[in-house]
Copies of this chain bind each other. A is one copy, B any other.
Amino acid sequence: MVFDFFFKSISRHIKLTDEEIELTKPVLRHKKLRKRQYLLQAGDVCKVETFVIKGCLRAYTVDDKGHEHIAMFAIEGWWISDFYSLLTGSEASQNIDALEDSEVFCIEKTDLENLYLQVPKFERLFRILLQNAFVAHQQRILAGISQTAEERYKSFIGKYPTIEQRVPQHQIASYLGITPETISRIRKLR
């Protein structure tokens, strides 16, 4: 059953009763995405928070020179959205698309807000997830301002070996703020 992975995932942080599980199911919209398919395009408004059941997605901006800059990857068990757009209702600056054939659950913003009230444990869940994101973000920022390209690349591999194996190197380059050529050269020297 598609729900199983979702509830097993969140059980790491909150324990739901059977009734709470039943309250939650209706707000989860199951969706399949083919490789390269957009979940969100810059300029549209991001209406949903998305949980990845299977596959791999990315959120990224495109600058005026046409270069992509990856804000985040999301694999099984992770959440993804253009959070600013979702929060404020403004146009998304980020695109989100699938790097592999994927399956996700989408939750409408309003449904999520109702869920916070009906099942306050979700308020706790998202606080915890946001706490973890805070730490990860801060480490990424500090890495960006204090480490060399090589250090950041090696640390990425150490932290996210799964992602490194699944996504093309130039995507990782774009996440780290370096060029694919530089990654290639780092790899050559062992």
On A, residues with C-beta under 8 Å from B are 61, 63, 67, 69, 71-72, 83-84, 87, 116, 120, 123-124, 126-127, 130-131, 133-135, 137-142, 144-146, 174-177
Contact sample, A vs B, 6 pairs, CB 8 Å cutoff: A71-B138, A71-B141, A133-B137, A140-B141, A141-B141, A141-B144
CB contact between A145 and one of B123, B137, B144 (< 8 Å): that residue = B144
Tell me the smallest distance from the CB of A143 to a CB of chain B, in Å.
9
Kindly list chain B residues whose C-beta atoms are within 8 Å of the C-beta of A84.
135, 138-139
* A142 contacts B71, C-beta separation under 8 Å: yes
Kindly list chain B residues whose C-beta atoms are within 8 Å of the C-beta of A124.
116, 123
* A135 contacts B177, C-beta separation under 8 Å: no
Number of copies of this chain that the complex holds: 2
A61-B146, A123-B123, A146-B69 known; A137-B141 Cβ under 8 A = yes
Considering the chains assembled together, what is the distance between the CA atoms of A177 and B175 in angstroms? 17
Considering the chains assembled together, what is the distance between the CA atoms of A72 and B69 in angstroms? 23
Considering the chains assembled together, what is the distance between the CA atoms of A63 and B145 in angstroms? 11
Considering the chains assembled together, what is the distance between the CA atoms of A131 and B49 in angstroms? 13
Tell me the smallest distance from the CB of A72 to a CB of chain B, in Å.
8
List the 6 shortest-distance A-B pairs measured between CB atoms, nearest first: A145-B177, A130-B130, A137-B137, A144-B144, A127-B127, A69-B146
Kindly list chain B residues whose C-beta atoms are within 8 Å of the C-beta of A87.
131, 135
A72, A123, A146, A175, most chain B CB atoms within 10 A: A146
Considering the chains assembled together, what is the distance between the CA atoms of A142 and B59 in angstroms? 11
Kindly list chain B residues whose C-beta atoms are within 8 Å of the C-beta of A177.
144-146
